[in-house]
Amino acid sequence: MRHFVIVTILVLVLSVLLYFGLTGLHLLPVEASAQALSIDWLFDLDVRAISFLFALIIVPMFYSLVVFRRKKGETGDGERTPGNTPLEVAWTVIPLFVVLTFAYLGSYSLGETLRVDPNAMTINVTAQQWSWSFEYPDYGISTKELYLPVNKQVVLLMQSRDVIHSFWVPEFRVKQDVVPGRITEYRITPTLAGFYKVRCAELCGTSHSYMLANVQVVAQDKFDSWVKDQQAAAQAASQTPEARGKALVAQNGCTGCHTIDGSALVGPTWFGLYGSQVKLSDGSTVTANDAYIKESIQNPSAQIVAGFEGVQMPKFDLTDAQISDIIAYIKTLK
């Protein structure tokens, strides 16, 4: 009995130390959504169970190695211990009920995560290599940044233009795949105003690590003010070819591959592009005029820029008028 008491105390002590040690590592980022509450609660329960089970295995093992090891001079066999049916039944039935309990708690947490608010705001999300775009159908605006009001549920209706992506804001906890050919749903209720990042959590190509988008959670009055500013900007964008071209670039995620400030990214920068001499992969040089840019949009593989041979640009279904607007915008990038 003495050994059982000692082992029990050591198991409890090690369990507590492990739990506080793991939680002290701050394994999770800040909790910023209502859905994160049940997820973090279940995660904390998992950490407690893991700490206890680890201690329950390690302590008896090392205790036995130290206390019941063969002493110097002993040559005989150890005491034979026959099977213990009640013990075997116990360590089969008890884990079964523990697993069923965690299954129930996991289902409950999933239900809380998917709980529907009939007043939720809808946002359409489009993923493509390698950018995100967001459309607010209730307000008639589209952006490259996700702007959300605090304490209001939002349902994101997400689709992909090319391969499988995965929408993930670590502070919101919930992650959802974005699959070509179907619309997937993601519900979230931000509870903490602040600045976050959308990350793609599914390996989606050569520039997977660059597939980021800003997320801002603000008070409702600031959100309403932002909507008005975006609506005014959208109205202004329809007035000139340059502004329409800039809007088209944002809607189609072009800046996910091409920068407008001369910095390096997946594809050639657009800064100072128009009228410049572009060296191609075959060694020739071409002037970046209207015809060159138009062909690069309609047939990206026709003239590949030197140094970007391994980059494959997707084709875009744009009208001649839209391409002209984009060219007008590129002309301004000097």
> Per-residue b/e over 141-170, b at no fewer than 16 CB within 10 Å?
bbbbebbbbbebbbebebbbbebebbbbbb
Whether 78 maps to a domain, the answer reads: no
Q: Are 154 and 33 in contact (CB under 8 A)?
A: no
- Structural domains in the chain (count): 3
* Span of 33-42, 53-62, 80-89, 124-133 with lowest mean pLDDT: 80-89
* Span of 22-31, 45-54, 70-79 with lowest mean pLDDT: 70-79
Q: Are residues 134 and 218 in the same domain?
A: yes
Whether 79 maps to a domain, the answer reads: no
Percentage, residues of the chain above pLDDT 90: 19
Q: Are residues 31 and 55 in the same domain?
A: yes
> What is the Cβ-side half-sphere exposure of residue 22, based on CA atoms within 13 angstroms?
16
Range of the domain at 171: 121-236
Q: Are residues 271 and 316 in the same domain?
A: yes
What does the pLDDT look like over 98-153, one tens digit per residue? Answer: 899 989 998 888 888 888 888 889 999 988 888 888 989 888 888 888 999 999 99
**Mean pLDDT for the stretch of residues 320-331:** 82
Q: Are residues 99 and 135 in the same domain?
A: no
Domain of 308: which CATH number? 1.10.760.10
Q: Are residues 126 and 46 in the same domain?
A: no
Write down the pLDDT at residue 83.
76
* Span of 65-79, 83-97, 118-132, 213-227 with lowest mean pLDDT: 65-79
Whether 249 maps to a domain, the answer reads: yes
Q: Is the pTM of this model over 0.85?
A: no
Q: Are residues 221 and 249 in the same domain?
A: no
Give 221's contacts (C-beta < 8 A, 6+ positions apart): none
Whether 270 maps to a domain, the answer reads: yes
- The confidence band for 238, taking pLDDT boundaries of 50, 70 and 90, is low
Domain of 210: which CATH number? 2.60.40.420
pLDDT at 177 over 80: yes
Closest CA to 215 of 198, 201, 200: 198
Write down the pLDDT at residue 237.
63
Distances (CA, A) of 285 to 11, 147, 244, 277, 299: 73, 43, 30, 6, 18
pLDDT at 201 over 80: yes
Q: Are residues 296 and 208 in the same domain?
A: no
> What is the Cβ-side half-sphere exposure of residue 34, based on CA atoms within 13 angstroms?
16
Whether 81 maps to a domain, the answer reads: no
- The confidence band for 196, taking pLDDT boundaries of 50, 70 and 90, is very high
Mean pLDDT of the chain: 85
What does the pLDDT look like over 244-301, one tens digit per residue? Answer: 788 788 777 787 788 777 776 778 888 888 888 888 878 788 888 888 888 888 888 7
Query: 270-279 contacts: CB < 8 A, separation 24 or more?
Result: 270/330, 270/333, 271/333, 271/334, 272/333, 272/334, 273/330, 273/333, 274/327, 274/330, 274/331, 274/333, 274/334, 278/305, 279/305, 279/306
Domain limit, last residue, from 203, 236, 269: 236
Whether 72 maps to a domain, the answer reads: no
